[in-house]
Copies of this chain bind each other. A is one copy, B any other.
Amino acid sequence: MGKSEEALARLHALDRESYHLEKAIAVLQWDEETYLPSRGVEERSEQLALLEEIAHRRLTEPETGRLLAGLGSTFDNPRGDEGLADIERDFLRVLRRKYDRAVQLPADFVAAAARAEGLSQPAWAQARRNNDFAAFLPHLKIMIDFARKKAEFWGFGGGARYDGLLDIYEPGMSAAEIDAVFAPLRERLVSLLEKIRRCSPPDTGFLNQQFDTEKQARFNRRLMDYLGFDQDRGRLDASAHPFTTTLGPHDVRITTRYFPDNLLSGVFSVIHESGHAFYETGFAPELRGTCLADGASMAFHESQSRFWENVVGRSRPFWEGFFPVLQETFPGQLDGVSAESFCRAVNEVKPSLIRVDADEVSYALHIILRFELEKRLISGELEAEKLPAVWREYSREYLGVESETDADGVLQDVHWSMGSFGYFPSYALGNLYGLQIRRKIESDLPDFDDAVSRGKFDTLRDWLDSHIYCRGCRLEPAELLRKITGEKLSVIPFLEYIEKKYAELYGI
């Protein structure tokens, strides 16, 4: 073995240990959200803190830095004499990125930020319960301050400071690029919402019933099977907030939640999280157990969950095929309802205050609002004190509704209390990616709708596997998008899809 081969092998071994530690942490977190007895919480956070410390130490081993530096020329000169395989170049790029991000933050800064987040999150939860923005404000200011410093440690080239944060979730993306797509998106969604507001709403009365939660759970397991979720490689459980977690290449778990008076919440969470899970189980075998076994970005991940949830799961062909199973699960409760009227009901547009309850049309407007505000918080243009008022103003302008309380307004989301600035755009970018991809799928798979109506998802899954999932994070999102669609980020496919779909549904 040559010297760089040896170094590479050692880096793979170190990376593999990091991977295992991350997954072990994920097991403890999954258990915390699903089955942990109530009094075990405190001990669990101590266990997690220790494992996270060990994982951080493993990731930031000085040895990794030395080996990466030693392989620098190989890395910088991909066609160099070393003849490094493409996949190894990608591996080194992603590992270096991960390593750099971790070591660029000084240890005392990381510790101080973790302590501040530890105080901020419960303060936010309490402030939301008490509708008391003032109580959260000092924590929020500290969180903004840490985020600004983080951006500085990481650097943001010549761009906006916000770009330094955005890059964690969406490598290579800038606020300016987002501005360019969010502006037309906002304009046309606001105008579509206005049109819809003048139409008569679909009948949703049949959803106002009690749906037994055990039957919901049984239905959702059938739904997973129907979608092709391999239950030998994952599972479905219940938790307070739905999520997907990867505990290993063949162990990707999703959760949902059950409300007797809200059938749709559990069902669409299962489809949404299954989209994430398909991505996570689709990485090529040679990426498994390495830092390349990850989605290309948060938005790419969200593109898949929202694609499955909305484009597949809220389509008429889908319920033409699967509505009979729902009827059968709840005998007597949905007898007079047709697949078509069910599909209309699950696509009801009703702008409301809460992002997580938003319909497909108004959802992106919730995101744009948050993006506009956090961008200005990080640049320093907007003072945190003014957030509640500005939130209300934007909410009225974008959504036509205005919260009476901060609990239903600026305090509704957990993200800022955790210091996660730059995350929100991913949700809406995911919509855009998803519909750009759909256009390509439609041309590659002309009988897409027909397959969906027959519950035949293998061709679609194969297509997504080979075009997206199998690549892991070998490509940055913009490059991946170009590889798949030949295009750069565009708002057009999403707007055309949504305007066409809702014009039909609402008879506009």
Contacts and interface: CB of A to CB of B under 8 A. Distances in A.
A234 interface: yes
Central interface residue in A27, A40, A250, by most chain B CB within 10 Å: A40
A291 to B, nearest CB: 16
A39 B250 contact: yes
Given A20-B50, A28-B24, A31-B27, A43 B250 contact: yes
Contact of A24 (B23, B24, B289): B24
Contacts of A205: none
A17 B231 contact: no
A28 to B, nearest CB: 5
Contact of A43 (B47, B51, B231, B248): B248
Contacts of A31: 27, 31
How extensive is the interface on chain A, given as a class?
Answer: 35 or more
Contacts of A234: 37
Given A31-B27, A31-B31, A20 B39 contact: no
Nearest to A39: B250
B23 A43 contact: yes
Central interface residue in A47, A54, A235, by most chain B CB within 10 Å: A47
Interface string A224-246: 00000011111101000000000
B37 A232 contact: yes
Interface in A228-274: 230-235, 237, 247-251, 253
A46 interface: yes
Contacts of A46: 20
A468 to B, nearest CB: 22
Contact of A249 (B21, B43, B249): B43
A221 to B, nearest CB: 13
Contact of A232 (B39, B230, B249): B39
Interface of A: 17, 20-21, 23-24, 27-28, 31, 35-40, 42-44, 46-47, 50-51, 54, 230-235, 237, 247-251, 253, 289
6 contacts: A20-B50, A24-B28, A27-B28, A31-B31, A42-B250, A43-B289
